[in-house]
Amino acid sequence: MNLDRIKWLVFFPVIGLFWASCQTPSVPMDLTEANVIPLPTSVEATGSSFELMAESHIVISDGSLQSTAEILQGILKPSTGYSLEVVTGIPSDGDIYLVLEQGDAEAYTISINEDQVAIKGDAPGIFWGVQTMRQLLPPQIEARTVQPGPWRIATGTITDKPTYTYRGSMLDVARHFFGVDDVKRYIDLISMYKLNYLHLGLSNDQGWRIEIKSWPRLATHGGSTEVGGGEGGYYTQEDYVELVDYAADRFVTMVPEIDMPGHTNAALASYAELNCDGKARDLYTGIEVGFSTLCTDKEVTYRFVDDVIRELSLITPGPYIHIGGDESHATPIDKYIPFVNRVQQIVTSYNKKVLGWDEIANADLVKDAVVQYWDRADNALKGVEQGAKVLMSPASRTYLDMQYDSTSPLGLHWAGYIEVDTSYIWDPASMVEALDQDDILGIETPLWTETIETMDDIEYMVFPRMPGIAEIGWTPSDQRDWEEYKVRLGKQKERFQIMEINFYESATVPWEGIEKVKG
């Protein structure tokens, strides 16, 4: 054997080994065993795996996907320790490819083969696809320190799109105030489960939480306390815009609520002229409802409402202004109806759509008004008769401030105890007879905060009920089943723990994870 031949015989296997070590090792994996909430519409497995590597990039087909790509990078980088550079162009092996494509609103497809993960859809669809991809990776991906990996995803195809176009949560920042960072975390948590609206309750008897430049005492005086007498607080308009932008990057639309004509004590305390007797009220730190009302007979009231809605519209790119309208027990009905009619005109004059609690259906609804059903089905139906759509927030199922059971340390129970199974086992389209899916805009899960004081409290009430409500809004009802869902939910425990989410470890769920770390 000559020397050349020997060289080749040695050289080839060495190159071969080197080459093989650079390739993604494809380990058999089954995508249909993926544990995703909300359940995707369709999952097909091809039995192999993709592995994220130190050399992987996040490749975008279009510059408009930059912020989604950076959010994805922000999730993957700390735990993998990889740089996962964001680049525009054509992907190579090992890359994640985000591809802008026209199609159904918010729909996406994830195609995973051994060489590449491609997420295709419209811009929101790609963002939701990214949220699905997070859940296809091991829970350790959510850690904020470098973890060992490997970072494998099963191969196959997921195609997915939402059932309802409006999937939201309401956070009451009036009863207790929550600062910008808390609201950003709330946006992170809801958008992880593909909720796309955040309704903020910005005013109530106990506090006014948004700066209104033409009526400055609303925030400085009306926002100075909260339930229990604590310090309170408010968002400057700059803070609010920061939240709107942060939400928009996550395809979450903010809906600001100014509750009226009732639930207005904070405003009535800030400006004497808003009261019929011309006397300013004291600030209120209790939790009763139904005692306050704007003076519906005074012109100044409508100048006030106009100023507030004008300023709010300027910092609200979303379509809706929520005018409250609930529990106005101190406003006679013959005053309530003309008031709501006039306020609706103000909202539409600023090119916004009206959203209000179900009581507003007693008034003459303007075109495109949406009635938020929380209490009375007859109100929801009155809305539909007037051509309105209904946003479903039945208190007995969706109220995140209800106690789980009689031993829950936080929450109220006027609408009943809402265990995790109770909040999941229902369907918006069959909840109210005579209300069909076509009448329903979507679903919203509110968190009132009379008893909720900290971010830990928020998380305890929201987890694990919110992911189930998100699934009700996203996944077709015939694909949902509590017995199957509870297993999927139980498998999220480790993710909650790694993300330091303070969740309620409900006995209705077969939890799988590390031993409980915090209560």
Q: By CB under 6 A, name the binding residues for ligand TNX.
A: 289, 326-327, 357, 374, 399, 401, 412, 448, 450
Judge contact between 324 and 356, C-beta under 8 A: yes
101 is catalytic: no
- CB 59 to ligand TNX: min, Å: 46
3-state secondary structure of 461: helix
CA dist., res. 331 & res. 293, Å (int):
6
Residue type, 216: P
∠ CA(271), CA(275), CA(276), 5° rounding? 150
CA dist., res. 158 & res. 36, Å (int):
11
- CB 448 to ligand TNX: min, Å: 3
Q: Which residues pair with 44 in a beta bridge?
A: 157
3-state secondary structure of 440: strand
Helix pair 299-314, 333-349: axis angle to 10 deg: 40
- CB 389 to ligand TNX: min, Å: 18
Structure tokens at 202: 């910005």
Which H helix or E strand runs over 304? Answer: helix 299-314
From the candidates 327, 444, 453, 471, which is the catalytic residue? 327
Would you say 95 or 257 has its CB closer to ligand TNX?
257
Would you say 160 or 450 has its CB closer to ligand TNX?
450
Burial class (CB in 10 A: 0-12, 13-18, 19+), 299: exposed
CA dist., res. 274 & res. 295, Å (int):
6
Burial class (CB in 10 A: 0-12, 13-18, 19+), 157: middle
- CB 387 to ligand TNX: min, Å: 22
- CB 291 to ligand TNX: min, Å: 12
- CB 116 to ligand TNX: min, Å: 47
Handedness of CA 271, 286, 293, 171 (dihedral sign): positive
Would you say 180 or 287 has its CB closer to ligand TNX?
287
What is each CA distance from 418 to 403, 422, 450, in whole angstroms? Answer: 6, 6, 17
7: which residues sit within 8 A by CB, 6+ positions away? none
Would you say 176 or 389 has its CB closer to ligand TNX?
176
Would you say 155 or 264 has its CB closer to ligand TNX?
264
Structure tokens at 259: 């509750």
Would you say 315 or 330 has its CB closer to ligand TNX?
330
Would you say 122 or 172 has its CB closer to ligand TNX?
172
- CB 263 to ligand TNX: min, Å: 6
Give catalytic residues, as residue numbers.
327
